[in-house]
Chain A
Amino acid sequence: MSITPKEVRRIAELAHLEFSPAELERFVGQFQRILDYFEQLRQVDTKGVEPTYHGLAEIPEAGAVRPDRNQPSLAPETVLEGAPKARKGYFRVPRVIE
């Protein structure tokens, strides 16, 4: 399996990241090395082996759930401290719908 510069550009777009043509070129090579490694892993016969979804999936204590209880929230002022723009307690962002 090989990756094209077009696919790398698409992935960057989806992640809202901008790169120079040189950077994209470099990523094509790096992505390809990762994919090659997975190609190598694929050689292993895994028939009948359960997929491991998480490193801790086999440890029951790690899968503990939270009781449905309230914990204090942050103060609205604190929440909005990091917002570039705010208005009347809301985050203010450029208009989303045309």
Chain B
Amino acid sequence: MNLHEYQGKELFNQYNLPVSKGIVIDDPENALKACRDIGGSKWVVKAQVHAGGRGKSGGVILVENPDDAREFAKKWLGKRLVTYQTDVNGQLVNSILIEECTDIASELYLSAVVDRASKKIVFIGSSEGGVNIEEVAANTPDKIIYESIDPLTGAQPFQARKIAKVLGLDPQQTKQFTPMLLNLMKLFVEKDLALLEINPLVITSGGKLHCLDAKINIDSNAIYRQPEIEEMHDSSQEDPRESEAAKNDLSYVSLDGNIGCMVNGAGLAMGTMDTIKFYGGNPANFLDVGGTATQERVAKAFKLILADPEVKVVLVNIFGGIVRCDLIAEGILAAIEEVGVEIPVVVRLEGNNAEIGSQILLESGVKIESKNDLAEAAKKAVELSK
């Protein structure tokens, strides 16, 4: 789960990490008061969306007059911001962060991720900030440090000093950086982060370290124990069908094809999409009905697929391990009755109670193509999608 920049900075604040004084508004009329309350004579105004590349797309400006902040808010609130990281529709702007302006002497990079290969949290630091870190890694690898944290001992001050060297910090800044790094680690662990990125981490003209941006991603598996984070969830930043699916505990990803897919198991769901493509068709979605699919959930999954107007045919592919195929068959029939399906449905049932499931479908009188063989089922779905 992603957080907005202003939410990330709220967390930074809680962990004594230096961030700019800022105020979030969702009404342009509050812009003037926000600028006044922050004080100073220059402000940075930033559209809040779950995507990078905002600056290059006009989503961040520097203003010297509060009226300009209000105009910016008027222009963007309720609109969609398109950046190189979003799709063509962009992301809805429903809040704007106004911050005091920071005088920058230099820009650095700092992030932390769970590294799958080493099975550790790894801090990544670079003296080259404000740019794409992948490019720095490719072109000037000596300017990057990767520092792994032992999960049992946690981050140690010496590790902060090591990173500080590569960042090029002076002794005074290193003293400021050491508790910062330990606090970032504390934040990472206590809030179950999957990714934390400060790009850029800057040195101000006064020589102090300052977090100018905050990108945070939380481990979805851990949301149950992070009620404060759960409150921050902004479903407007997600595909509406994907958030509807999530509410029903279904795993769904929208794609741009026309063959709706309902599959049990994430791997088989991906494999089914690939098989459709292999036979010349295009999947409309990824959908895993899960291992404990009840009739109700299957019906909901069906409705979700049919809500996509592009879908011309639905391919149901179930390999019954935990989930019984007769249950799936009943779910399909219940959903068809409930929603009123007018497009063709191809069903492939295999595994646990597959024959009973196929029998239920056959005897229902509903027009369903039932295949035991996945290749045959996929080919049929592709044919019907043309």
Q: Does B bind A?
A: no
